[in-house]
Chain A
Amino acid sequence: MQKLLLLGDEALAQGALDAGMSGVFAYPGTPSTEITEYIQENKEAIERNVHRTWSSNEKTAVEAAIGMSYTGKRAMTCMKHVGLNVAADPFMNSAFTGANGGLLVTVADDPSMHSSQNEQDSRFYAKFAMIPCIEPSNQQECYDLAYYGFDLSEKYKLPVLVRLTTRLSHSRAGVDRKALLPEKSIKMPDDPNQFVLLPAIARKKYQHLISIQEDLVKESENSPFNHYYEGTNKSIGIIAFGLAYNYVMENFPNGCPYPLLKISQYPLPRKMVQRIFDECETILVAEEGMPLMEELLRGYLNNGKTIHGRLDGTIPRDGELNPNKIAVALGMEDKCGLPIPEVVAPRPPMLCVGCPHSDSFYALNDALVEHGKGHVFSDIGCYTLGFMPPYHAINSCVDMGASITMAKGAADAGFFPSVAVIGDSTFSHSGLTGLLDAVYDNSNIVIVILDNSTTGMTGGQDFTAFGKLEQICLGIGVPREHIRVVKPLKQHHDEMVQVFKEEIAYKGVSVVIPRRECLQVTRRKYKA
């Protein structure tokens, strides 16, 4: 069979499909979005009717995946790194319930924050939950590890965390497929109490989880994805995790002279680590993201073997790795080319010309002029670009849904006016409960739900509250006369300013919904 040319995200999706996965549950988030999109567009997945529609958020997605696992079928849930924070509750407890059908929790981290608010490292979560983590180093391993991961999950009846990073998620290479496995049929858990985390059961579950930790280490020691490569120059032993392995090898086209331990499966394979410590004078730890393993190997007192890495500055402490950083860490020449000429100006992302959000921001700015700057709490999405010139329209961006709750907290402090600006998809992700809080307290806020009828920033995905915004606000208890829908267009500017002013003047919770479809979506429809 000819190789498929796939992004890391897509290779993982194909691997999961070929391994007989029955459903994927996810909310879009860069760099993980393409996993689910690939499954949504995949002919075989459509024929098999693999579950593939979007979830409201990562928490609902993980819970649904646990539910599918309960039935004995193989399920995957995917998200960006910060999405796992949203889903942390079901995720942590899934380590206690364990899995019935294979369960993969795929998390794509974004070191260097290309499209994110932080660069947290999801391997911490795997360690925190005491479950296996697999971290592919290339597209073929993305495929193979998804396939392998389901078996691993079923063998230990545990969820397995699959960790990707931006560079692998969004890079293409040729991938070979394996034989297609049939989907599992419905088979309830052997132990009817497996998913009942009452304290008495949960305590046993925890003891069980502790008791299998050594088995998981042995599993890593025998993993086909962890490999010890001999080397003649034992002055340095390199431990390279996931993608970092490539950056090491890039510097040695004729083979690495140093002993090299490539690790793609956690917990750490103790015997292999012991061996490289025994054989080598010093150790270089190369890991993408935070120095999690380096810290572990060093210990708090750092009084063992000399270990170089991100903690001692041999490799920069933050940001994604690249071949040059590893070259420098190994004392090799940094072959960097010419510097960027001074004439080059930054070109930050910005709202598209004619974007409906821009009309909303111009109107909101004018409505707030008399109150001065600093009154707008915003959220995560395209409209976060309202921070940029010429708008300078927002004053916060913290996490999904925080606009409404921060505005509420500020209003509860007596701050006036207090305005929240949130996208329609973000609202369906994490806005509803915050709105309920605001209504419960009758907090004096104006919530602007920018309705472009899509999840814009990630490329235009569907979302669960589409077409239901007024009904939801009404149902939660916002008075009907304070749910105002406007059409954000230049010619409606004065009307919009007026609506914003009226709702700012109203003492209580009001919602303004500027509604006009995202231009990218309109354009795509027109093309098709």
Chain B
Amino acid sequence: MKKDIILAGVGGQGILTIATVIGYAALDAGLNLKQAEVHGMSQRGGDVQSHMRISDKPIYSDLIPFGGADIILSVEPMESLRYLPYLAKDGWLITNTTPFNNIAKYPEMDDVLNAIAKVPHQIMLNADEIAKNLNAARSMNIVMLGAASFYLDISAEKLEEGIKSVFEEKGEKIVESNIAAFRAGREYAAKAVSN
């Protein structure tokens, strides 16, 4: 088993939390893992990405090779496209559709969504809206994790355990709302793919 996942977004959007949850679940499942992340200047509102690699065999490179990612999981639509050179031919692009607009010339949304639609295997969801409807606006990132969960080769139970471990110090309520966010994202993706 091997999964290479590019996590993408803008500094501060919570992609490292997604990485931590997957990390817990992967270790718990006895898998090897490497996860490269961005610290420093880019964290100030710039584009950030994390390379997450999970395998039952030894993992060498900390970076996913170009053309090697099984999944691009992006919490921001334009950012999902920035990493297309990493996506394998049969890889999936799973992205939030709510833009994070902190730049002067953000492109037209239709152009962004059209470009995403051209990717052979993709799932788009408005994770911000799903999270808001659950009264858990800050759990948008976990909605996205839920949406990607079918493709991770890690059971939903293990991922939910991971969510518990990551959020447990923030209290039961936060754990619950993140579990709900995870399930809502997972449900959405299940429907989107079966349609």
Q: Which residues of A contact B (CB under 8 A)?
A: 3, 5, 30-31, 33-34, 114-115, 167-168, 170-174, 243, 245-247, 249-250, 253, 322-324, 327, 334-341, 343-353, 382, 385, 389, 457-459
Contact = CB atoms under 8 A, between A and B. Distances in A.
A458 B66 contact: no
Contacts of A337: 66-67, 69, 84-89, 91
Contacts of B34: 171-173
Given A336-B85, A337-B84, A347 B102 contact: yes
Interface of B: 10-11, 23, 27, 32-47, 51, 57, 59-63, 65-69, 78-79, 81-82, 84-89, 91, 102-108, 111-112, 115, 118-119
Nearest to B114: A343
Contact of B42 (A322, A336, A349): A349
B41 A341 contact: no
Contacts, number: 160
Contact of A343 (B38, B47, B87, B107): B107
Given A115-B42, A171-B35, A322 B65 contact: yes
Most chain B C-beta atoms within 10 Å of own C-beta, residue among A114, A341, A458: A341
Contacts of A343: 78, 81, 107-108, 111-112, 115
Contacts of B108: 343
B107 to A, nearest CB: 5
Given A3-B27, A171-B37, A347 B10 contact: yes
B99 to A, nearest CB: 11
A348 B102 CA distance: 10
A340 B81 CA distance: 6
A34 B39 contact: yes
Most chain B C-beta atoms within 10 Å of own C-beta, residue among A349, A351, A459: A349
Contacts of A382: 44
A114 B10 CA distance: 15
Given A347-B46, A352-B44, A323 B88 contact: no
B42 A114 contact: yes
Given A337-B87, A337-B88, A349 B62 contact: no
Contacts of B82: 340, 344
B81 A351 contact: no
A172 B33 contact: yes
28 contacts: A30-B40, A30-B41, A114-B40, A114-B42, A167-B62, A170-B36, A170-B37, A170-B38, A171-B36, A172-B34, A247-B63, A322-B61, A322-B66, A324-B67, A336-B66, A336-B67, A336-B85, A337-B67, A337-B89, A341-B84, A344-B107, A345-B78, A347-B10, A350-B46, A351-B44, A351-B45, A382-B44, A389-B104
Contacts of B104: 389
B63 A323 contact: yes
A288 B151 CA distance: 33
A253 B60 CA distance: 9
A62 B119 CA distance: 52
B168 to A, nearest CB: 16
A174 B33 contact: yes
A167 B36 contact: yes
A-B residue pairs, 6 tightest by C-beta: A115-B40, A335-B67, A30-B40, A349-B46, A171-B36, A171-B62
B103 A345 contact: yes
Contacts of A115: 39-42
Contact of B33 (A34, A173, A459): A173
Contacts of B78: 343-345, 347
A254 B78 CA distance: 37
B58 to A, nearest CB: 9
A151 B133 CA distance: 59
B27 A5 contact: yes
A497 to B, nearest CB: 25
Nearest to A335: B67
Contacts of B84: 337-341
Contacts of A253: 57
B45 A352 contact: yes
Nearest to A338: B84
A33 B32 contact: no
Given A172-B36, A335-B88, A347-B46, 13 more contacts: A5-B33, A114-B38, A114-B41, A170-B39, A174-B32, A327-B65, A337-B87, A338-B87, A343-B81, A343-B111, A344-B78, A345-B103, A347-B78
Contacts of A323: 61, 63, 65, 68
Contacts of A33: 39
Nearest to A390: B104
A341 B118 CA distance: 10
B159 to A, nearest CB: 16
A339 B67 CA distance: 10
A250 B60 contact: yes
A255 to B, nearest CB: 12
Given A5-B27, A337-B89, A341-B115, A249 B60 contact: yes
Contacts of A458: 40
A171 B62 CA distance: 7
B193 to A, nearest CB: 21
A457 B46 CA distance: 13
Most chain B C-beta atoms within 10 Å of own C-beta, residue among A33, A343, A346: A343
A385 B84 CA distance: 28
Given A5-B33, A167-B36, A247 B61 contact: yes
A161 to B, nearest CB: 22
A5 B19 CA distance: 12
Given A170-B36, A351-B44, A322 B11 contact: no
A335 B41 contact: no
A278 to B, nearest CB: 27
Contact of B44 (A3, A324, A349): A349
